[in-house]
Amino acid sequence: MTDSTTQSQAGLIDQVGLRWFFRLLSSSIGQKFVMGVTGLLLCGFLVAHLAGNLLLFAGAKPFNEYAHALHAQWELLAVAEAGLLLLFVAHVYLAVATSIGNNQARTGQYVMKQTKVPGRIIGANSWMFASGAVVLAFVILHLIDLRFGLRGDVKYLAESDPEAPFKNTVAVLNNPISRLVYFIGVVVLGAHLSHGFASAFQSIGLNHPKYMPLIKLIGKIFAVVIAVGFASIVVIVPGLKR
Ligand code: HEM
């Protein structure tokens, strides 16, 4: 890259007022901070997504009405989807970047892999990375299944069909292999959240010793609610009489 290209890029960053953001991302503390913020915002998405999907228990009519009302606001939905994609990409990119940074910092310092909890065979960072990778694989599969409707073995109804949201969701969950994969996906998501929630508070600096035990407890409860909520849909909804 030439000097003039670098200068014009720096000028553009100044003009848009994003210098502070790039400075934040250049330190490992800043990267952790952004990872914590994006993680907590993704938790917000999970709450909204679970609340919407729990309408599957209420039956086809309420779920279809909810889904069509959401799709009717397509401009808002497009903005929300773009924001969500940005959050996912930033969170995953920073997970990889900080993990590489951690490994480099560790090289030569330890002979054996360290873990802070006695009796644990895998450190928290490695666990978060591994469970995050499983959740990412699950989300990609899930988008192929239900956002883009690309599963070869499912006969999808066209989006314009009033019955489509409910029938397509149930058609995906009716497959026993999908059900198992979804079940594993949401359980691993719960495990990721059970450490990640409190860890995000630590990363953004809200880690007062007095409140940390409470934040950890809330994180565990949140993880169980999300995992059990989604898992109950996976297990119960395909068998419901309608
Ligand atoms: C039983 C569990 C779940 C069911 C039945 C379900 C159902 C759905 C459906 C029907 C859609 C399509 C929405 C639309 O096109 O408007 C969707 C989209 C999506 N789901 Fe799920 N979901 C489940 C679990 C999850 C989990 C655990 C995650 C994240 C870890 C997740 C992340 C997403 C994302 C990112 C989208 C795309 C959102 C969008 O672009 O509007 N889902 N889900």
Question: What is the pLDDT at residue 1?
Answer: 54
Q: How many domains does the chain have?
A: 1
| Residue 101: count of CB within 10 angstroms of its CB | 14
Please check whether residue 115 lies inside any domain of the structure: yes
Kindly report the CA angle at 112 between 97 and 192, in degrees rounded to 5? 45
At residue 136, does pLDDT exceed 50? yes
Please check whether residue 6 lies inside any domain of the structure: no
Please check whether residue 102 lies inside any domain of the structure: yes
Which atom from ligand 1 is nearest to the alpha carbon of 71? 16
For the ranges 1-5, 98-102, 148-152, the maximum mean pLDDT occurs at 148-152
Please check whether residue 10 lies inside any domain of the structure: no
Residue nearest to atom 35 of ligand 1 (CA): 139
Please check whether residue 21 lies inside any domain of the structure: no
pLDDT grade, residue 111 (50/70/90)? very low
What is the reported pTM?
0.89
Please check whether residue 34 lies inside any domain of the structure: yes
pLDDT grade, residue 107 (50/70/90)? low
What CATH number corresponds to the domain at position 218? 1.20.1300
Structure confidence by residue, pLDDT tens digits, 41-75? 999 999 999 999 999 999 999 999 999 999 999 99
Please check whether residue 117 lies inside any domain of the structure: yes
Please check whether residue 9 lies inside any domain of the structure: no
Residue 69's domain spans which residues? 28-239
**C-alpha neighbours within 13 Å on the C-beta side of residue 123:** 11
Residue nearest to atom 43 of ligand 1 (CA): 146
Q: Are 42 and 92 in contact (CB under 8 A)?
A: no
Tell me what the mean pLDDT of segment 128-141 comes to.
97
